[in-house]
């Protein structure tokens, strides 16, 4: 949040936020030449406000909190992989959805493990913000690295961006793949190759 000027940092209550979004959506409808009072649109500003507060709820959360359920299992310093964690998020440039799957691998150190579901919770929290795929991928790795201090972490994300498909270049079905690797996966070529193959899976 460091890059937001001070005068924009006013923290709104949920009600204030909803009111502001409703007014903005009404203005957009009017600017488009629509009648915001017609039956089908009457509840649209409040629906969109509810949807945005849900879709962007991760802005009020700290993703690393999820990982703090740490189990110490001495001697278990073997790789842990969770594949196919589905996510839906919004690109920060157009506020259009991008969605896909994240695959996570980490090599624990000192037997420090987290609950498997917590990895998916980290993805969910970080996805519920205006995002870039590269940043989402990096932030997932950062959270795991900071809390679990593993020997290595690797995150692979693949997604379809609606701003590239339904508008602009209209590259239907194009998939963007991003990869972040840290620690031993960055320095040990054999471990990196082996883990990347596991992350990619058979399909």
Ligand X SMILES: Nc1nc2c(ncn2[C@@H]2O[C@H](COP(=O)(O)OP(=O)(O)OP(=O)(O)O)[C@@H](O)[C@H]2O)c(=O)[nH]1
Positions in the binding site for ligand X (CB under 6 A): 91, 93, 132-134, 161, 163-164, 168-169
Nearer to ligand X, 88 or 93 (CB): 93
CB 153 within 8 A of CB 108: no
Residue in the shown chain whose Cβ atom is closest to ligand X? 168
> How far apart, in whole angstroms, are the C-alpha atoms of residue 144 and residue 115?
12
Annotated catalytic residue 94: yes
Of 91 and 119, which has the nearer Cβ to Zn ion? 91
Q: What are phi and psi of 69, to 5 degrees?
A: -80, 90
CB of 155 to Zn ion, least distance (A): 21
CB 134 within 8 A of CB 178: yes
Catalytic: which of 103, 131, 133, 139? 133
- In eight-state DSSP terms, residue 107 is E
34 catalytic per annotation? no
10 is in an annotated binding site: no
Whichever of 132 and 196 has its CB closer to Zn ion, that residue is: 132
CA distance 154 to 88: 20
Verify whether residue 163 is a known catalytic residue: yes
Least separation, in Å, of the C-beta of 123 and ligand X? Answer: 15
Are the beta carbons of 102 and 144 closer than 8 angstroms?
no
Q: Please name every residue paired with 98 in a beta bridge, in sequence order, or none if there are none.
A: 89, 161
91 is in an annotated binding site: yes
| Shortest reach from residue 9's CB to ligand X, in Å | 25
Contacts of 92 (CB under 8 A, 6+ apart): 130, 131, 132
Binding site members: 91, 94, 163
Binding site members for Zn(2+): 91, 94, 163
> Would you please indicate which residues are annotated as catalytic (active-site) residues?
91-94, 133, 161, 163
């Amino acid at each position: 949040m460091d890059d937001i000027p001070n005068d924009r940092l006013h923290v709104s209550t949920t009600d204030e936020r909803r009111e502001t979004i409703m007014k903005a959506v009404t203005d957009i409808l009017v600017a488009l030449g629509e009648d915001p009072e017609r039956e089908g649109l009457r509840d649209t500003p409040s629906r969109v406000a509810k949807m945005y507060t849900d879709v962007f709820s991760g802005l009020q959360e700290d993703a690393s909190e999820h990982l703090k359920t740490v189990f110490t299992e001495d001697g278990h310093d073997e790789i842990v992989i969770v594949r196919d964690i589905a996510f839906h998020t919004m690109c920060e440039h157009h506020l259009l959805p991008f969605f896909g799957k994240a695959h996570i691998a980490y090599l624990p150190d000192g037997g420090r493990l987290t609950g498997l579901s917590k990895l998916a919770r980290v993805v969910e929290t970080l996805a519920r913000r205006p995002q870039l795929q590269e940043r989402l991928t990096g932030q997932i790795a950062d959270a795991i690295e900071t809390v679990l201090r593993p020997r290595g972490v690797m995150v692979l994300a693949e997604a379809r961006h609606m701003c590239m498909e339904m508008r602009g270049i209209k590259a239907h079905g194009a998939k963007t793949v991003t990869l972040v690797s840290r620690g031993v996966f960055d320095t040990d070529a054999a471990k990196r190759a082996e883990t990347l193959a596991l992350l990619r899976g058979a399909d």
